[in-house]
Structure 1
Amino acid sequence: MVSDKGGRAGFVYKTRQSVYRALRRRGMPKSKAARISNEGVTRAGRSAMSRKAARTRQRRGR
């Protein structure tokens, strides 16, 4: 588990640790999983992520 200490230890907000672990279980690299999980800390960040996911799904025809 990546810490919430920061610096060389890496950083993922405490409230987003479960998201980070879920992404890691899916085989995502640590840096990418941390970037995605940290983006969703704020309401605005989660909203932006959902809009991007919707565009991706639409483009792929799902």
Structure 2
Amino acid sequence: MVSARGGRWGFVYPSRQDVYRALRRDGASKSKAARISNAGRSFSARSRMARKAARTRRRRGQ
């Protein structure tokens, strides 16, 4: 299990630890992986982030 201790040891929600591990495998730093995985804790939060990312990609012409 990834850290659920918090504080100086970091924290990742238990339901999002598979995402954290995948990001770490892809080379993200511990802090970046934790920040990304914790950000989309709920389905609605992940959907909101996905829509925002799609808008950003569209604006940048990708």
Q: TM-score, normalised by structure 1?
A: 0.81
Identity %: 67
Q: Which runs of 4+ in 1 moved over 6 A?
A: none
Structure 2: runs of 5+ lacking an equivalent: none
Which position in structure 1 is the counterpart of 2:30?
Answer: 30
- Alignment RMSD: 1.6
Structure 1: runs of 5+ lacking an equivalent: none
Which position in structure 2 is the counterpart of 1:20?
Answer: 20
| C-alpha distance in structure 1 between counterparts of 2:13 and 2:26, whole Å | 19
Matched residues, number: 61
